[in-house]
Structure 1
């Protein structure tokens, strides 16, 4: 019986080649798109879940109250991990590390070879808490000695030409601090689904030594990770943390509201609003999962519409089968079998498309996805194929198997307004989704363009920056003076960290009769940084050597002055972070965060300990100045390479996620429209064919070709216009909500709605016009001949 069903299904597909090809194109492209999104979603959901302690591995977070609500951060005191491990019985293990963003480039030297690699300082049990694989070394011991270093497999090859590096020495440098360490371990290549990627691990004890960390610093911005014991009550532990921190920080006016977040949740659920988890990358996972389902549904709708439209041609076959004893279940299984056969054929084409498109998809998403047929991937493919087959074939199977055979065999073709209405409704649904996608893409690109052209409040163009290393940290004033003498260099300065990305910290100040806390971003800078970045003064002055003790003065931005409520601030002496300081000036607000955030308070202080040099280059001379900088750097700092970045590229990088979403959405929108138009084309072809005698009679009675075209196009045009009327308000609502995730954003605007509406009407007319023109120009005599 199965063989008979298969043979019948195959004959039906070959008999209706045009509709088979349309269905294959629609289903295969829809399946390919769905599979690509499934690969991306699967990878996103797997991030950081490979650790053996995944269920019990947590990161300590902190809610910090301030004048506008609560800010959540992952910065914790340096010695918190050791203290919790010793004093809290629920903690099985604990470790600390510096944030991954602190040291993207650590200078490493051995013999005559030098390189720069990303690294972190980590506690002794770091490789016990996390499951990063070691090629060589014991995970319990490699970070025990403060003079050790653990390097990656690739770094070992770079420095020593082999992975057998145990016992070899490496000189590393952070800022002005240099140290010789012995390789105690070699890491295997880190899993691609690890959110933290690094090339070397240095003992946190070495960092404590060079930074002179000897007590529980209440402002410490370090990362603390805990492995909790089996069965530990996390909510109860969170409640204990508050009183525990209060007892450790007696005398501090800043409340410490600590809590645990599962480490593997941090990647997808990293956003907090007013102390409450508010999504993160999980929003994009949900969005693209929904897009994948919508595109699959759009492709299946084509199959449903074309199958039900052709029902009249199969009714005699169905009537005969019922008459000779076939029950409804057998007919349903037959038609579902046809759907599954079509799906399997489309799946084969889709898998080929995935293999061809995956490199470009990886380029757009910034991932390294691979299409390997492991157990889970086979399960995903089978699930998607079954879902597609059932979605595409379920309704046609039930519809075609439900007719009474007697009227059919007498030549009466049953039909119902409901069936026609359902087909039109599916077309409306398809194009409603297409309208939604189109508005989303246009809005996303407009918002990104707005962000790119908006003045951030400082001059980010032609600013080059690089890390200090070698002898530079010990001679910053002389080095900066030499840079300024290079032709084409407008200005140069240095600071700790970078302009963008660093978090705000809780700062205390004594004013209005009490000690208050505000969240403030510190900018430890050298002289001329404000001038180098082109930041405008709102009041007072910048730092200057002409005023002597400027290292005891401070400069705020307008947002900080507003938050503290200080009138006429210039020259006033306040107590800030426990120190009396004079306000030298106030800078105008500028965007040191992305435009998702409102401009928050910040302060500048002079600091001679700098990690980053920034150079303002004269416009139009970038290449010549970079060549001169490289030559100067090689002479000044022999053995070290001149690795630089542009500040404007970092500014744009803040919106990488949005750009990728916009780029992917562009392709998904094009696919949705193409698939919808394929179905519309097929329906137009079927309608023209089924009404050819009616059209011929109309032409004989005087109807013009234009009248016939409008008659055939009008039905589909009405459906698309309804889709536009439904889709535009829905799209406006969705995009308005998305735009409000930016503190500074555009409005959706009526122009977008008008553009999308006209575009959809034009696309519809182009799609059905070929069939309409063909039917209108056909010779009526040919169709009116007796068959």
Structure 2
């Protein structure tokens, strides 16, 4: 029986090569898109899920009301982990964690042959490797941090420094920001997997961190992260209620409230609004899952429409089979089998497409996804193809099997109104989805362009960052002086961190001033800078002055932005005294507002302090068009001042782009997916137009004999499809308007969703429809009437 079905299916392919090709192209494209999105979603859902303690692993979060908002952040006190482990019986183990990698900093490690290797470090305490699953190749997880001067390094870093992974007992000289640590290798771990949000090359102890940053030992300071494993059966709601005010018992600062969240939820559910979790990357996972499903549905709709539309070619086959005793159920099985076989063939083509497209897909998404053809994957793909085949062939199978034998043999089979309505409804559904995606792509593009072109309050173009480390820590002034003499450099300075970055840990609430509202809670972002930083970045002064050598030491001077002065309620701020961490400072200037983080957030209070010895990177303004020459000149100068240290640089504009990497990826992926949806819809439309032209060949011949022009015939064949497009517009526009506005609500500053987006979308979809249908319409209109009427 199956062999017979295959023979019949093959004969039908040979009879309708055009229809089969359209079905294969549409289905394989839809399946390939669905598989790619499925692989991406699987990868997203796997992030941080590999830890053996995943179900018990939690992160402590802090809630604080500041600057008129309720903020949630992972920064906690350095002593919180060990204190919770001691005081709370629900806590099985706890670890303190601090990452320099997430801050964009690297250590300099000296190799045995005195070369410098840069590597990313984290700090943690003894339970770290017992809580998190980062397997050790060498060393004991419970003993690697028995001594403060211990270090655990990755296998690849061991190979890079020592040329071997058998390095227990070796000593590494680690330097960072002028501080040096001699650490003994007590463990070697496997490289951190890509689906870990923690990325690092080696781990130093918490004791080393506290030596480097003594303030972390004080309850009044935050900055480290705290992770816990809770005992099985712990009621999380009750535990959160218990620890809400936990910090208050040890700190006079009662602003902080604590709660825990599952550690592996942070990647997908990391966004909070006004203290309440509001989503995160999970929104993109849901969005692209829906898009992938819709694209596959569009491909299935094409198959349904073309199968029912071309049913007339199989009427005699069905009639004869029914006349010789074939039951309706056997016909349904036959047609469903043919549908499944078609989808299986399309699946094979789709798998090839996925393999070919994966490298480009990984470039767009920033991942390293692979298609592993193992037994489980094959089973999932086959089951998916069978389900898709059944869904695609369900309606055609029941429609074709319901045709009556007498009607077929008399040649009086007519297309029912319900069949036409269903077919048109499916076309409307297809184009509603395509139109929704077109509007979404244009709206996302507008927002990305808005981000690129908006006034940030500083000039990010032609600015180069170079890390300040090694001997340069002591020779910064001379280095900057020599750099300013280069003809390609128009100005230079230094700063700690970056002028704009996400998750800035350099902030303080330790300011006091005359007239301060005791109930107000203000947090200031601190920008630690050298002379000329404000001028180098072209930040405008609203009043007063910037830091200047003309005024001697500037250690007692502060500069605020306009938002800070407004929040502080200070009038005529120049010359006013501020108490900062117990020391008296003076306001010497106020800058105009600028963005110190992404435009997802409103502009926050910012203060500048002069402390060049605390800056971490140099900032150079380069003459336009002289970037390549400036890099070469700076490289030579860097080698002179910092011999043996690798020359690493970055452009400020590139750093800015990383703040919006998600938006750019969404824009790019949306563009491709929208294009695929439109392509598949057009294939279906093309097939229907081709069938429609054949069905109405005699009508067209009669009209031409009676004097109808080619244009009139084209209009006749195209008008029905254009009307369906207009119906799709009425459905898609309200839905897209609502969805896009919800997406834009995630930005504090956003582009207006104006009518041009909808106008362009409308014109685009109508043009696509007309162009797709017109080819077949013109082809039919140009046929000699004699050819279509000679059989009458």
TM more than 0.5:
yes
Superposition deviation, residue 87 in structure 1: 1.3
Output the CA distance in 1 between the equivalents of 2:216 and 2:676: 60
Q: Is the 8 A contact 1:509 1:516 kept in 2?
A: no
Against the structure 1 CA distance between its residues 513 and 69, is the aligned structure 2 distance closer, same or farther, given a 3 Å change threshold? closer
Match in the other structure for 2:691: 686
Match in the other structure for 1:418: 418
Output the CA distance in 2 between the equivalents of 1:312 and 1:605: 81
Instruction: Kindly indicate whether residue 618 of structure 2 is the aligned counterpart of residue 613 of structure 1.
Output: yes
Output the CA distance in 1 between the equivalents of 2:402 and 2:582: 83
Match in the other structure for 2:378: 378
Match in the other structure for 1:597: 601
Match in the other structure for 1:571: 575
Instruction: Kindly indicate whether residue 485 of structure 2 is the aligned counterpart of residue 503 of structure 1.
Output: no
Q: Which moved more, 1:12-21 or 1:99-108?
A: 99-108
Match in the other structure for 1:211: 213
Match in the other structure for 1:47: 47
Q: TM-score, normalised by structure 1?
A: 0.96
Of residues 514, 517, 529, the one that matches 1:525 is 529
Q: SS where residue 517 of structure 1 aligns?
A: coil
Q: TM-score, normalised by structure 2?
A: 0.95
Q: Which moved more, 1:461-470 or 1:167-176?
A: 461-470
Against the structure 1 CA distance between its residues 459 and 706, is the aligned structure 2 distance closer, same or farther, given a 3 Å change threshold? closer
Q: Is the 8 A contact 2:210 2:217 kept in 1?
A: no
Against the structure 1 CA distance between its residues 188 and 512, is the aligned structure 2 distance closer, same or farther, given a 3 Å change threshold? closer
Q: Which moved more, 1:679-688 or 1:531-540?
A: 531-540
Superposition deviation, residue 431 in structure 1: 1.2
Q: Is the 8 A contact 1:558 1:589 kept in 2?
A: yes
Output the CA distance in 1 between the equivalents of 2:538 and 2:713: 67
Instruction: Kindly indicate whether residue 364 of structure 2 is the aligned counterpart of residue 369 of structure 1.
Output: no
Structure 1 residues 353-386: Cα deviation after superposition (integer angstroms, max 9, x where no partner):
1111111111111111111023553354234313
Match in the other structure for 1:588: 592
Instruction: Kindly indicate whether residue 740 of structure 2 is the aligned counterpart of residue 735 of structure 1.
Output: yes
Superposition deviation, residue 512 in structure 1: 4.2
Match in the other structure for 2:328: 328
Output the CA distance in 1 between the equivalents of 2:404 and 2:629: 85
Structure 1 residues 516-540: Cα deviation after superposition (integer angstroms, max 9, x where no partner):
3113211122333222222111122
Superposition deviation, residue 579 in structure 1: 4.8
Q: SS where residue 369 of structure 1 aligns?
A: coil
Structure 1 residues 102-134: Cα deviation after superposition (integer angstroms, max 9, x where no partner):
353211112322111111112222111111122
Instruction: Kindly indicate whether residue 537 of structure 2 is the aligned counterpart of residue 536 of structure 1.
Output: no
Q: SS where residue 278 of structure 1 aligns?
A: strand
Of residues 623, 647, 656, the one that matches 2:652 is 647
Match in the other structure for 1:403: 403
Against the structure 1 CA distance between its residues 410 and 775, is the aligned structure 2 distance closer, same or farther, given a 3 Å change threshold? same
Output the CA distance in 1 between the equivalents of 2:672 and 2:790: 47
Match in the other structure for 1:628: 633
Against the structure 1 CA distance between its residues 80 and 716, is the aligned structure 2 distance closer, same or farther, given a 3 Å change threshold? same
Q: Is the 8 A contact 1:522 1:604 kept in 2?
A: yes
Q: Is the 8 A contact 1:508 1:515 kept in 2?
A: no
Against the structure 1 CA distance between its residues 622 and 704, is the aligned structure 2 distance closer, same or farther, given a 3 Å change threshold? closer
Of residues 659, 662, 668, the one that matches 2:664 is 659
Output the CA distance in 1 between the equivalents of 2:216 and 2:258: 21
Output the CA distance in 2 between the equivalents of 1:442 and 1:512: 47
Unaligned runs of 5+ in 1: none
Superposition deviation, residue 725 in structure 1: 3.3
Q: Which moved more, 1:711-720 or 1:315-324?
A: 315-324
Output the CA distance in 2 between the equivalents of 1:558 and 1:195: 36
Superposition deviation, residue 76 in structure 1: 0.6
Of residues 771, 779, 783, the one that matches 2:784 is 779
Match in the other structure for 2:427: 427
Q: SS where residue 516 of structure 1 aligns?
A: coil
Match in the other structure for 1:28: 28
Structure 1 residues 402-455: Cα deviation after superposition (integer angstroms, max 9, x where no partner):
333333333320432121011111111111111111122222222212211222
Superposition deviation, residue 212 in structure 1: 2.3
Q: Is the 8 A contact 1:462 1:646 kept in 2?
A: yes
CA RMSD of aligned residues (A): 2.0
Match in the other structure for 2:102: 101
Superposition deviation, residue 77 in structure 1: 0.7
Q: Is the 8 A contact 1:507 1:577 kept in 2?
A: no
Output the CA distance in 2 between the equivalents of 1:641 and 1:407: 84
Match in the other structure for 2:182: 180
Structure 1 residues 265-288: Cα deviation after superposition (integer angstroms, max 9, x where no partner):
111111110111111111111111
Superposition deviation, residue 714 in structure 1: 1.3
Match in the other structure for 1:711: 716
Match in the other structure for 1:437: 437
Q: Is the 8 A contact 2:555 2:609 kept in 1?
A: yes
Superposition deviation, residue 545 in structure 1: 4.1
Output the CA distance in 2 between the equivalents of 1:759 and 1:38: 29
Match in the other structure for 1:557: 561
Match in the other structure for 1:259: 259
Match in the other structure for 1:315: 315
Output the CA distance in 2 between the equivalents of 1:750 and 1:102: 41
Output the CA distance in 1 between the equivalents of 2:519 and 2:676: 59
Q: Which moved more, 1:489-498 or 1:226-235?
A: 489-498
Output the CA distance in 1 between the equivalents of 2:581 and 2:423: 69
Q: Is the 8 A contact 1:508 1:516 kept in 2?
A: no
Output the CA distance in 1 between the equivalents of 2:304 and 2:618: 63
Superposition deviation, residue 600 in structure 1: 1.2
Superposition deviation, residue 574 in structure 1: 3.6
Q: Is the 8 A contact 2:601 2:747 kept in 1?
A: yes
For residues 179-198 of structure 1, the aligned pairs below 5 Å read: 179-198=181-200
Q: Is the 8 A contact 2:215 2:221 kept in 1?
A: no
Match in the other structure for 1:301: 301
Against the structure 1 CA distance between its residues 45 and 214, is the aligned structure 2 distance closer, same or farther, given a 3 Å change threshold? closer
Q: Which moved more, 1:594-603 or 1:328-337?
A: 328-337
Q: Which moved more, 1:390-399 or 1:291-300?
A: 390-399
